[in-house]
C-alpha cells in the first residue's frame, strides 16, 4: 500500500468518502486543504497532466455554475491564474503518490493506479450529493 498526499476542501462530504475509500484499501492518507495550500503555477500544473483544460475545473464552483467562468474558453495559463486566485475553481481532490500527481477521483483510474478494491461498487464520489439533487451544498461553498 502507498502513502497518498490528498488535497481536499475541508468539510467536503465526497472528499471524506474518498479518503475513507483510500484508507479502507490500506493506504495512508495525508490530507491538506486545497484552499489554503500555497500553490504556484509550477506546483499546481503537474496535477492536470494531459487532461483538457476544461477538465481542470471544479464544475460545481459557484463562478463556474453561474457561467461567470467558462472552463471551455480557458487557456492553460489563464486557468492556472484563475485557480491561484480562487482555489475553489480547482477540480478536487488533487492526489500525489510517489511524485505522480493527478486530479479528480475516478475510482477505476485510482484502482488501476494504486489499488482501491472493487471500484465498480463505489458510485459517484465526485459530485456533491446535495448539488446532484439540485440543492446547495450544505458543507460550505462548493
Q: What is the pLDDT of residues 18-33, one digit of tens each?
A: 999 999 999 999 999 9
Exposure letters 6-33 (e unless 16+ CB within 10 A, then b): bbbbeebebbebbbebbeebebebeeee
Structure confidence by residue, pLDDT tens digits, 45-84: 999 999 999 999 999 999 999 999 999 999 999 999 999 9
Report yes or no: 92 and 7 within 8 Å, Cβ to Cβ. Answer: yes
Domain ranges within the chain, ordered by starting residue: 3-132
Quote the pLDDT of residue 53.
98
Confidence of residue 141 (pLDDT cuts 50, 70, 90): very low
Q: Is 103 a catalytic residue?
A: no
pLDDT of residue 119: 55
Q: The C-alpha cell of 41 is what?
A: 503555477
Of the residues 12, 103, 128, 137, only one is catalytic, namely 12
Q: Please give the pLDDT value at position 117.
A: 81
Q: Looking at domain 3-132, which of 3.40.30.10, 1.20.120.420, 3.40.1080.10, 3.50.40.10 is its CATH number? A: 3.40.30.10
For 73-130, the pLDDT digits (tens) are 999 999 999 999 999 999 999 999 999 999 999 999 999 999 998 755 555 566 765 5
Mean pLDDT to the nearest integer, 123-138: 58
Amino acid at each position: 500500500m502507498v502513502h497518498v498526499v490528498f488535497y481536499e476542501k475541508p468539510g467536503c462530504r465526497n472528499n471524506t468518502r474518498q479518503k475513507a475509500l483510500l484508507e479502507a484499501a490500506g493506504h495512508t492518507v495525508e490530507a491538506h486543504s486545497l484552499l489554503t495550500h500555497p500553490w504556484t503555477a509550477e506546483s499546481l500544473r503537474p496535477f492536470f497532466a494531459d487532461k483538457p483544460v476544461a477538465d481542470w475545473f471544479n464544475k460545481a464552483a459557484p463562478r463556474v455554475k453561474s457561467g461567470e467562468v467558462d472552463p471551455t474558453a480557458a487557456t492553460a495559463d489563464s486557468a492556472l491564474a484563475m485557480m491561484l486566485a480562487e482555489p475553489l475553481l480547482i477540480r478536487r481532490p488533487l492526489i500525489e503518490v510517489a511524485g505522480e500527481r493527478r486530479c479528480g477521483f475516478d475510482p477505476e483510474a485510482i484502482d488501476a493506479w494504486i489499488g482501491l478494491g472493487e471500484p465498480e461498487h463505489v458510485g459517484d464520489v465526485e459530485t456533491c450529493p446535495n448539488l446532484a439533487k439540485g440543492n446547495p451544498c450544505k458543507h460550505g461553498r462548493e
